[in-house]
Amino acid sequence: MKSKSRRALLTGAAAALAAPTVVRAQAWPARPIRCIVPLPPGGGTDSMGRRAMQRLSDALGVPVVVENKAGAGGTLGSDIVAKAEPDGYTLGIATASSHAAAPVFRKDLPYDPVKDFTAVTMLGTTPYILIGGPAAKAKDLAGVIANAKAAGGKMTCASVGVSTLGYLLTKQLELLAGIELTDVPYKGSALAYPELMNGTVALMLDNPSGSAGLVRDGRLSAFAVTRPSPVLPNVPTFESLGVKGFDAVFWYGVVAPPGLPMEIAHRIHKALADGFLTDPGAAALRAMDIEPVMSTPETFAAAMAQQTRDLRALADRLGIKPSE
């Protein structure tokens, strides 16, 4: 009897300790949620984040307030998410730059891109596009490459920071195309577009979700894409133009602080999948040149970990070492 009583007491104590988490998950959400977008307003990450959070708000019946916390290639805002309470009231928009690529460049990264977050869902993927303005002085990719070689490393190329996937892939493009470019960092792609258009900077490896409209309007030129783009179907791929193996894509996702109850993670995933894996939600994302993914939390966590390893291997091949 004593043994049974002791087991009952221990079981009851364990249940009592677990109960607050279960109750919180069942009662969630009881107030507005905030979502940190780690880049400035106006770019592809901001647009994707706001569309996803509007869908989440509609599904949950509570406001989801988007806050732009730009800086350090997306790592400043991501660090805010990593250090927040795991109560379901702080989410973050993660990208291939802020998570998979960031540890390639920074030894002092204030978070582990895998261990310090709860992966919720990968929202979607988009190709990369090489865009340019008058300073590129070219009509096609062959002209860009020829001019870059003639400039001897002085042709400028915008990026949203040296700790981003776009920067890493630009270095890969330089290697594959046999050119050298001068990096000009910006806090967000939306800040680079005006300077591409006025000739301050020549090129940028960007996501079509942010710049396709400017290309269609004739304000920027599109030279090549890493994968075929439904919003810019006439832009050839790098592969078709002779730059073999340059076919990477960029992803957007939703993350939360570590320790988020998985019941909440799966509710968020379901709300977003229900909204974006069927029309009109899927069509709306494809109109932004984003292919819907909406992976489960478990699948997203595994994909982030794998890409982090893959990009570290790419950086090693390029001779890129993380800075202090």
Give domain limits for the chain: 7-126+250-318, 129-241
Over the stretch 107-151, which tens digit does the pLDDT of each residue have? 889 999 999 999 999 999 999 999 999 999 999 999 999 999 999
The CATH H-level superfamily of 7-126+250-318 is Bordetella uptake gene, domain 1 (3.40.190.150)
CB atoms within 10 A of CB 87: 18
Over the stretch 149-181, which tens digit does the pLDDT of each residue have? 999 999 999 998 887 888 999 999 999 999 999
Same fold yes or no, 7-126+250-318 and 129-241:
yes
Compute, in degrees rounded to 10, the torsion defined by CA atoms 273, 277, 281, 286.
120
Paired sense of beta strands 182-185 and 156-159, if any = parallel
Compute, in degrees rounded to 10, the torsion defined by CA atoms 98, 103, 107, 108.
30
For every residue of 138-198, DSSP letters joined together read -SSHHHHHHHHHHHTT--EEEES-TTSHHHHHHHHHHHHHT---EEEE-SSHHHHHHHHHT
Q: What does the block give as tokens for 61? A: 């019946």
CATH number of 129-241: 3.40.190.10
Q: pLDDT category, 10, cuts 50, 70, 90?
A: very low
Over the stretch 246-289, which tens digit does the pLDDT of each residue have? 999 999 999 999 999 999 999 999 999 999 999 999 999 998 88
Q: What angle do the packed helices 44-60 and 262-276 form, to 10 degrees? A: 110
pTM of the model: 0.79
* 43 backbone dihedrals φ, ψ, rounded to 5°: -95, -175
Q: Write down the pLDDT at residue 161.
A: 82
Q: Find out whether 160 and 185 touch, Cβ atoms under 8 Å.
A: yes
Percentage with pLDDT > 70 across the chain: 92
